[in-house]
Structure 1
Amino acid sequence: MNVSTHTRPSRKAPVAAALLTFVSLAALAACGGQPAKDAGGSAPATRTTRFTENGVTVTLSVSDWQASQGTLTAVFTPEAKGFHLYSTDLPPTGIEGVGRPTAMAVNGALKARGRLTAGADVRSISVPGVDAPVPVYPDGPVTTTLPVRADTDGDATVLLGYASCSTQDGCTIPVSDHPVHLHVTDDGPTFDAA
């Protein structure tokens, strides 16, 4: 049997190039790089976004979207250990001026279809100079959820508020009505990638 030893153009080269591109993009994303923009020059839309302000990282996501309604979830994570967030039920100006509520509201094409709830138990603390107990969540991250619906396609804004404090290190500057913008279509709300 005679076996030919001549070479043909390899079909593996395009596959290897595509695999190398995929691995390079994955490495870029793992290192904090930004995703490539689409042909129109805009970044792809996403159902999750994140920002950090005044000692707290907030991760906001859309889930369970069906029949023009779903859930907005915000995870508030203090950057330093020993810091807590205040109850969603705290009055807007706090108790005797102390604290600010953990808050999430929507406007524009999205409407709330229920109350904001938190996945953590509230405990009361005593603050020097304040007569009433102050309701807070345990130290660390707090997950909140808000059921929402879309009345129409278009733009919407999520407004987030919070303050973080430590019984030993004091408080960070409160954040009030931090805006996060979304676009609502038939497929649901999406955040523009940064």
Structure 2
Amino acid sequence: MNTALYVRPSRLARVAAVLLALAAVSACGGQPAADTAGSGAGPAPTTSFTENGVTVTLSVSDWKASAGTLTAVFTPEAEGFHLYSTDLPATGVEGVGRPTAVGVTGALKAEGRLKAAAQVQSISVPGVDAPVPVYPDGPVTTTLPVRADGNGDATVLVGYASCSTRDGCTIPVSDRPVRLRVTGEGPAFGAP
């Protein structure tokens, strides 16, 4: 059995998490799934997955002239869980935590740094001398400017870990791939 902390949310809690994620995307300048990608060509490309206690909703918005914004909303399934800063070292602070990360490979290239729409706060962890940078408990919205590097397959690589001061941590997720296909019309999730 997987040793990750697992909390079985009710159906209502899952719906609430998705609605919160979409509201966060909208509040941070992104487009919820029902909006267009900016060209009037149809719904914005959107997908989501849940792994190790966190639902990640990915969308591409404002697609114009082969460039746009990749938004990732990280929503812990249980109350009281936080995610770590995007600036956390890859191996954490003294081994504690993993950074919230979104990268792209293939036919999409990053055009800047990943930014989070939440303020970093420092927490003390027993047995760790240095402060650990985290985001407040709950959903965190990140954005990454991207540009198409021609047509073809692309991959979004997602990483994170969630923890609670009361309930412990889930197993970190590292370089979780999400596939896209980039064409002249823009990116679409679910490429083969």
Name the count of aligned residue pairs: 151
Residue number in structure 2 paired with 1:37: none
Please list the CA deviations of residues 148-189 of structure 1 after superposition, one character each: whole Å capped at 9, or x if unmatched. Answer: 000100000000000000001100000000000000011111
1:95 paired to 2:59:
no
CA distance in 1, matches of 2:184, 2:62: 14
User: Which residue matches 2:162?
Assistant: 164
Aligned to 1:47: 45
Q: TM-score, normalised by structure 2?
A: 0.76
The TM-score with structure 1 as length reference comes to 0.76
**Identical columns (%):** 80
The equivalent residue for 2:176 is 178
- List runs of 5+ in structure 2 lacking aligned partners: 1-14, 16-42
2: CA distance between counterparts of 1:128 and 1:88? 22
| Unmatched tracts of structure 1, length 5 or more | 1-29, 31-44
Aligned-partner SS, 1:74: strand
For the pair shown, which has the larger CA radius of gyration, 1 or 2? Answer: 1
Q: 2:134: which partner in 1?
A: 136
Post-superposition shift, 1:192? 2.2
Name the residue aligned to 1:110: 108
Structure 2 match to 1:38? none
The residue aligned with 1:190 is: 188
Q: Structure 2 counterpart of 1:141, which letter? A: P
Question: 2:118 maps to what in 1?
Answer: 120
The alignment yields a C-alpha RMSD, in angstroms, of 1.7
**Superposed CA offset, 1:52-111 (max 9, x none):** 000000000000000000000000000000000000000000000000000000000000
